[in-house]
Amino acid sequence: MDVLVLLGEGFAGALTPQNLIWVLVGCVLGTAVGVMPGLGSSMAVALLLPVTFSLDPTAAFIMFSGVYFGGLFGDSITGILLNTPGQASAIASTFEGHKMALNGRAAQALATAAIGAFIGGIIAAILLVFFAPVLAGLSSSFGPAEFFALAIFAFAATSSVVTDNAGKGLASLLLGLGIAVIGIDGVTGAPRFTMDSPNLFDGISLITVTVGILALGEVIYVACLERHISNKQMIRPTGRPWLTRREFAEATPAWLRGTAIGLPFGVIPAGGSEIPTFLAYGIEKRLDGRRKKPRFGTGAIRGLAAPEAAGNSTTGMAMGSLLALGLPVSATAAIMLAAFRQYGLQPGPLLFERAPDLVWALIASFFIAMVVLLILNLPFAMLWAKLLVIPRPYLYAAIAVFCGLGIYATSGATFDLVLLLAVGLLGFVMRAHDYPLAPLIIGMVLGPLAETSLRDAAMSANGDLTTLFQGPIVIAIYAVLLVVLVAAGRNRVVARRRANTTQKETVGV
């Protein structure tokens, strides 16, 4: 029971007044960006990254994980009350959640969502305590070939599983990889693609790219659409936000099923919690169809409970694969990986050996964050919904100011601000043409790892590239990747066929 001792020490480290404040700050910020449609936790973490450099790493990561989880708690509030999900991970919960609210059960819907997110997150955190050290132990035998395979896994999965056009995903990934090779080559010291400008010797900062793509690009994009956005009427919940025993009995199996569906997606880099939330919704809908009195379409509590639990259990496990393998499964996790590097820490097996106090304090803070978030969300959901009163011009203007603040504070150069605008324009064009952005971020974060491990492996084998595809772990990673890709491809074909038949049906009628 070594891990329990370590976890206990972690709690001791996380329960200091200072760290508790950062948990609270992270949870409040995360819920706030989760509630506001259009703002997500990835944008929040990107914007916070530059201003956290003066904090100590434990405090910074405790705050980041609060933001990551908080986004998943907050995102369903506006989905339920306004039929407008705050983040993509709440789209699936909105279908039944908003119908519950329309039927006068808004308070119960909010409670179901918050408790579901809590259950998913807490189960994932418990599993993480036992599972992460095992995974870290396994990966301690990884060499360059294994890390290269892991990077390829992440590249292929993020750029082709989530997106409907694999070409666009891969193009976005290659852009990220290309940006990452700019700067002085670490192995030979040769300047690459710098045009002899000292501004580029250190490469293009990851902070500039993430803030530009995720935050400034979004500001420009929304500005160009602003005239066409209409505001909707919000439903005011009445009654206490708590569930009756019967509602509990009804929702519990869905919470647990949702959690189970979400867990494996924390290890597969398929873009985070969107896919598992939709899967959980789909399975509940199918199970509901078998009942004598199907409730879906009329505000089924299970249709809300399962996706909420799935989203948070994915995020919990995603933190595990980030800590133990250094594998980011979503854009938010990729930015956190970059944050670890900024502090000179390399997530993976060595992190558990070299910085155990940080790792375990962080894991302990997940439990604290779940409790804090449940308290923040269960009774105060209506207060959070009030955030929507902030006029959009001021909200986005403040985001733009914060972009400028973060970039200037880290570099102090006009060059980086102009670069930020250029990257923001790229982000705008990519959004307008529906190119996925997450592969670019993941490509930029993992690109250097892929290149160094490729070169290390090949050089130690005297330039023989086949060494990259040898070894049991390497082959296992590629095999899993193949399964994921085939499953994704099959799903897409099935979905397309189904779409075609429904189209024919409507034409026939």
* Residues 197-236, interacting with another protein (CB under 8 A): 216, 218-230, 232
Return the amino acid letter for 96: E
Query: Using the rule CB under 8 A, which residue among 20, 127, 171, 350 binds another protein?
Result: 171
Cβ-based nearer residue to another protein, 26 or 85: 85
Read off the tokens for 307. Answer: 């996706």
φ/ψ (deg, to 5) at 231: -90, 150
Return the amino acid letter for 264: P
Distance of alpha carbon 60 from alpha carbon 66, whole angstroms: 10
Question: Smallest distance, Å, CB 381 to another protein?
Answer: 18
Coil, strand or helix: which one is 372? Answer: helix
Name the DSSP letter for residue 235.
P
Query: Using the rule CB under 8 A, which residue among 1, 2, 189, 246 binds another protein?
Result: 189
Question: Smallest distance, Å, CB 228 to another protein?
Answer: 5
The dihedral formed by the CA atoms of 307, 367, 53 and 423, expressed in degrees to the nearest 10: -10
Question: Smallest distance, Å, CB 70 to another protein?
Answer: 15
The answer to whether 274 contacts another protein (rule: CB under 8 A) is yes
Cβ-based nearer residue to another protein, 132 or 440: 440
Read off the tokens for 362. Answer: 């962080």
Query: Which parts of 127-166 interact with another protein (CB under 8 A)?
Result: 162-165
Cβ-based nearer residue to another protein, 76 or 139: 76
Query: Using the rule CB under 8 A, which residue among 46, 119, 322, 454 binds another protein?
Result: 454
Question: Smallest distance, Å, CB 435 to another protein?
Answer: 6
Question: Smallest distance, Å, CB 80 to another protein?
Answer: 13
State the maximum Cα–Cα separation within the chain, in Å, rounded to a whole number: 72
Distance of alpha carbon 318 from alpha carbon 423, whole angstroms: 27
Question: Smallest distance, Å, CB 436 to another protein?
Answer: 4
Q: How many residues bind another protein (CB under 8 A)?
A: 103
Binding segment for another protein among 20-28, 120-128, 360-368, 386-394 (CB under 8 A)? 386-394
Are the C-beta atoms of 89 and 75 separated by less than 8 Å? Answer: yes
Binding segment for another protein among 116-124, 262-270, 289-297, 453-461 (CB under 8 A)? 453-461
Are the C-beta atoms of 210 and 338 separated by less than 8 Å? Answer: yes
How crowded is the C-beta side of 215, counted as CA atoms within 13 Å?
Answer: 32
The answer to whether 287 contacts another protein (rule: CB under 8 A) is no
- 25 by Cβ neighbours in 10 Å (0-12 / 13-18 / 19+) ranks as middle
Query: Which parts of 478-497 interact with another protein (CB under 8 A)?
Result: 495
Query: Using the rule CB under 8 A, which residue among 60, 110, 177, 327 binds another protein?
Result: 177
Question: Smallest distance, Å, CB 371 to another protein?
Answer: 27
Query: Which parts of 325-384 interact with another protein (CB under 8 A)?
Result: none
Taking CA atoms, 238 is separated from 51, 241, 260, in Å, by 40, 8, 32
Binding segment for another protein among 60-68, 125-133, 451-459, 472-480 (CB under 8 A)? 451-459
Return the amino acid letter for 182: I
Place of tokens 């940080």: 358
Q: What is the DSSP string of 150-197?
A: HHHHHHHHHHHTSSS-HHHHHHHHHHHHHHHT-EE-TTT--EES-TT-
Burial 153-191 (b: 16+ CB within 10 A, else e): bbbbbbbbbbbeebebbbbbbbbbbebbebbeeeeeeeb
Question: Smallest distance, Å, CB 339 to another protein?
Answer: 16
The answer to whether 309 contacts another protein (rule: CB under 8 A) is no
Query: Using the rule CB under 8 A, which residue among 266, 268, 424, 474 binds another protein?
Result: 424
Question: Smallest distance, Å, CB 431 to another protein?
Answer: 5
Distance of alpha carbon 22 from alpha carbon 166, whole angstroms: 39
- 269 by Cβ neighbours in 10 Å (0-12 / 13-18 / 19+) ranks as buried
Question: Smallest distance, Å, CB 29 to another protein?
Answer: 14
Query: Using the rule CB under 8 A, which residue among 99, 168, 257, 302 binds another protein?
Result: 168
Which helix (H) or strand (E) segment holds residue 478: the answer is helix 472-508
The answer to whether 3 contacts another protein (rule: CB under 8 A) is no
Question: Smallest distance, Å, CB 156 to another protein?
Answer: 13
Query: Using the rule CB under 8 A, which residue among 37, 258, 299, 347 binds another protein?
Result: 37
Return the amino acid letter for 83: N
Are the C-beta atoms of 124 and 266 separated by less than 8 Å? Answer: yes
Query: Using the rule CB under 8 A, which residue among 20, 25, 127, 181 binds another protein?
Result: 181
Question: Smallest distance, Å, CB 176 to another protein?
Answer: 10
Cβ-based nearer residue to another protein, 20 or 88: 88
The answer to whether 397 contacts another protein (rule: CB under 8 A) is yes
Cβ-based nearer residue to another protein, 43 or 119: 43
Cβ-based nearer residue to another protein, 115 or 146: 146
Binding flags for another protein, 92-131, as an x/- string (CB under 8 A): x---------------------------------------
The answer to whether 15 contacts another protein (rule: CB under 8 A) is no
